[in-house]
Amino acid sequence: MTTLITGNLGYIGSVLGNYLLSNGFKVGGLDSGFFQKNTIDDCADIETNTKDIRDVIPNDLTGVNRIVHLAALSNDPLGEFDRSLTFEINYEAAVNLAKMAKSLGVKKFIFVSTQSIYGYSNSDEELDEDISVKNPQTAYAESKWLAEQEILRLSSPTFQVLALRPSTVFGWSPRLRTDIVFNNLLATGYFSRKISVHSDGLPWRPIIHILDVCRAIKLSLESTLTGESLNLGIIGGNYRVKELAAIASKSLNDIPVIFNTENITDSRSYKVNFNKARKILDFQANITLESGATEIIKKLLEIDTNSEDFFNRTNRLARLKELLLEKKVKNDLRFN
């Protein structure tokens, strides 16, 4: 029986597919194909159904017994591109997929949510999964929070559901993203020899390496847990953005860090607790920022590319605008 990864041609999916294959899983993919050609490194060849997540039908789930749902308009800028489409894809399509999966006898559904649902917190306390207030600030976060709640309500002994809330992910992928904070600091610093922080650097941002996310997903697929939400991140791994910038700078031979405080727009700041995942899933993230930075810099040194081409291929909003400009996708974000 197959484990289906939706969004397998994205940043996390491109790593997860290979990770699960190497751990003995039979894996299939389902992906819209927006970022299929955005590879900057070798990628595992997984049989993929190129299809919009909104258009999935029961036949697409034939032979599937586990689903990892990654497919989404996958960050805040992308989510604000068209709020109605964000809710259509991230909320309605996700819930419809889960309901369809349950009706067809799929055994496990892993919904990859986000810590952006915590939004902005003035508390110095680390936020937990179940009691802490959710304060989503963007269409992306709102749509994920709505979907998470509704999908968890489908949980039963025969349809095991987990919602995983990763910290901001960092680390190398064949379909790298540079529109997420630590990857962005490193990549822009690498090409420009300076790091620009578009805030005062004070917001808190938990982090997690992409391979730690994959390991947590594997553990979730193998577990019998159901009906739970789990924060994923390094215990003690809550960093201020200025601390992330300092680590990126040090990794690039102490290049300068510049704070553009006139452009403070970051509406997210939160510190998160990760004890629940350690307690009930036996998961603890352990890959450090420093080792992740070393890996990314090593890969960048091997790539023959200019900065414009590189950032066009690694920024999701830029790629989506390109597809629209070239009329390869329609205004509803379905391919022509």
Q: What is the DSSP letter of 58?
A: G
- What is the torsional sign of CA 270, 114, 164, 314? negative
Asked whether residue 331 is domain-assigned, the answer is: no
Distance CA 152, CA 218 (A): 19
297/251 Cα distance (integer angstroms): 8
The pLDDT, as a whole number, for residue 243 is 96
Q: What is the mean pLDDT of the chain?
A: 93
The reported pTM is 0.95
Host domain of residue 231: 2-325
- Measured at the CA of 52, the angle between CA 48 and CA 56, to 5 degrees, comes to 85
What's the CA gap between 91 and 83, in Å, rounded? 11
In a domain, 336, yes or no: no
Comparing CA positions, the residue from 236, 241, 243, 240 lying closest to residue 272 is: 236
Residue 309 belongs to a domain = yes
Number of compact structural domains in the chain: 1
Q: What is the CATH number of the domain that holds 297?
A: 3.40.50.720
pLDDT of residue 145: 97
Q: What is the pLDDT of residue 116?
A: 93
* Token pair belonging to 14: 């491109």
Q: What is the pLDDT of residue 91?
A: 98
Is 48 a domain residue?
Answer: yes
pLDDT at 42: 82
How high is the pLDDT of residue 98?
98
What string of DSSP letters covers 192-207?
HSSEEESS-S-SEEEE
Residue 115 to residues 35, 301, 319, 322, Cα–Cα distance (Å): 23, 32, 24, 28
What SS3 class is residue 330? coil
pLDDT given at position 79? 54
Extract the residue ranges of the chain whose pLDDT is less than 50: none
**333 in a domain, yes or no?**
no
Please report the pLDDT score of residue 75 as a whole number. Answer: 67
In a domain, 214, yes or no: yes
Q: At a CB cut-off of 8 Å and minimum separation 6, what does 329 contact?
A: 34, 320, 323, 335, 336
334 in any annotated domain: no
pLDDT tens column, 109-159: 999 999 999 998 877 889 999 999 999 989 999 999 999 999 999 999 999
Tell me the β-bridge partners of 169. Answer: 208
The answer as to whether 98 is a domain residue is yes
Question: CA 35 to CA 319: how far, in whole Å?
Answer: 8
